[in-house]
Amino acid sequence: MTLEALHLYCDIVRLRSFSKAATENHLSQSAASQAVRQMEDGLQVALLDRSQRPFSVTPEGGKFYETCRRMLEAFERTRTEITAAQQELAGAVRVAAIYSVGLHGISGPMERFLSLYPKARVRLECLHPHQVVEAVTTDEADLGVLSYPPQNRALTVVPLRSERTVFVCQPSHRLARRKKVEPQDLNGEPFVAFDANLAIRKATDRALRKHNSKPSVVMEFDNVETIKQAIMNGTGVSLLPEPTIVQEVALHTLSAVPFNIPELVRPIGAIHRRGKLLTPAVARFLELLQQAEPPVLHPARTPHRHNGAGK
């Protein structure tokens, strides 16, 4: 039963005429009659009573008509919405994101958005957190995506997700084979940290103090990528958001182990100017960001299962 056949049946019932419905659907009367016969054969029930003129609709035929009518209305409504969205979603979406989210959390939603709306464009710029906020407040960006989004009366914050923190080290490190790393395991451990003025560093320090964990900070950097490189070079260990190290764990250049402070997570949120009317393209891109699932470590790739000899 095609949509065209269902539409024909509804027209036959609505017009109470095979000939009129056939004309509206550019068919012969015999073709229209045959289409209804095929529906009845498929349903194994009579939809129309042809024993009298004009024909009457059987109880089953009436129920089938109402169902078909609702289905066709829903289809037309959805098609109209999609067509309208395709026509409206054009122009640029300007996004400012912190480096780690721009590199590991935006590409998926961006690819999906551009495939759905080829007339639209996304301009992504990776910035430091305070620059992301500044870009949004000065209207240089439509959306900002960052961790620990600030509470600001000029901004609207849209929560996106929370990323768990994992312990990260070289594959040959003594803790790499653990199933879980405890806060006390970091005592005296050379530690590569975020810069002291960053929100993620302050949140990490608070959590470690609460659990009496005292690593030895040997280096500080303002972004995840530099911290990962320092760990690879043997400078120390660190605590990083899980989505940012999935690729390195898969390549066995870094190991990641669950860290036993469950409340230590990195909140990710989108921001835009409060009261600003979002264009359809910006609003739809924001919806895709909310729906996106961040990359996570696959159970089969947990580091303590992949540290063979020579790693």
Amino acid 88: pLDDT: 63
Amino acid 132: pLDDT: 95
Residues 216 and 239 in one domain: yes
Q: Which residue has the tokens 């939809």?
A: 47
**Residue 43 near residue 64 (C-beta atoms within 8 A):** yes
Kindly report the length of the chain.
311
Does residue 311 sit within a domain?
no
Amino acid 270: pLDDT: 96
Q: What angle is formed at CA 307 by the lines to CA 241 and CA 297, rounded to 5 degrees?
A: 30
**What CATH number is associated with residue 27?**
1.10.10.10
Residues 69 and 101 in one domain: no
Residues 62 and 82 in one domain: yes
Q: Can you tell me whether residue 173 is helix, strand or coil?
A: coil
Does residue 279 sit within a domain?
yes
Q: Which residues of the chain register pLDDT less than 50?
A: 299-311
Number of H helices, E strands in the chain: 11, 11
Question: How many structural domains is the chain composed of?
Answer: 3
**Domain, as residue range, for 66:** 3-87
Global pTM value: 0.66
Does residue 259 sit within a domain?
yes
Does residue 310 sit within a domain?
no
Amino acid 86: pLDDT: 62
> Which amino acid makes up residue 13?
V
